[in-house]
Amino acid sequence: MADDHDPTQDDSLFPAPSLLPYERWLNEASRSVMLNALEHVSREGLAGEHHFYLTFLTDFPGVDIPARLRAQYPHEMTIVLQHQFWDLKVDRKAKTVSVGLSFGGVGSILVIPVQAITGFADPAIRFSLHFAAMEPTEEPTPEEPTTGQPEQDGPEESDSSSQVVSLDAFRKKGPSPA
């Protein structure tokens, strides 16, 4: 007996592309779970053995961390909220998380846009969330080209350590509008 709803029928290995943004909705819902946990801890403190690992992109626009940390972690950093942190705040309107931490005995306040956060974990209960990288919501500045074409006249110089790769070519697209 054939199953008319079998997605692997006709050697199809992948389901049909969705016209609904499920991936974005799941990403937003997961970020909301993380923000709820951070807000709870900012009000009530950490209970029991709970503690958080928060991974974020240090080179994301709007990340405010000391220059020495940015130099040490130029792309990504993981912080631990466990015993010694202070002023944990979630600002949903500004879409930021801020927290005070000590690095090498020097206290610092870190301000992290929610979009820059790529991971959240509570190892005490083996709970973790991973988030898709999100595009910054800031408008391009006037000196940035908006056409995607380089503005320079001379030969292009290549710096492989700072290249930006667009993943659009690898993403599944829905049917083209007719």
Residue 165 is predicted with a pLDDT of 36
Q: What residue type is assigned to position 86 of the chain?
A: W
Residue with tokens 């790529």: 118
Could you report the per-residue pLDDT of 25-41, keeping only the tens digit for each? 999 999 999 999 999 99
Instruction: Report the relative pairing of strands 52-57 and 85-91 from DSSP bridges.
Output: unpaired
Q: How far is CA 3 from the centre of its chain?
A: 40
CA dihedral defined by 145, 142, 133, 177, rounded to 10 degrees? -60
Residue 38 is predicted with a pLDDT of 96
66 in Cβ contact with 108 (< 8 Å)? yes
d(CA 21, CA 12): 22
Residue 148 is predicted with a pLDDT of 42
Could you report the per-residue pLDDT of 90-102, keeping only the tens digit for each? 999 999 999 999 9
Residue 10 is predicted with a pLDDT of 55
Instruction: Quickly list H helices, the chain.
Output: 22-44, 67-72
d(CA 17, CA 177): 14
| CATH 3.40.50.2300 fits domain 20-128 | no
Averaged over 150-178, what is the pLDDT?
40
d(CA 80, CA 119): 12
What are the CA-CA distances from residue 66 to residues 74, 100, 149 (Å)? 11, 12, 33
Token reading at 177: 């509008």
Grade residue 132 by pLDDT with cuts at 50, 70 and 90: confident
Residue 77 is predicted with a pLDDT of 94
Could you report the per-residue pLDDT of 41-77, keeping only the tens digit for each? 999 998 899 999 999 999 999 999 999 999 999 999 9
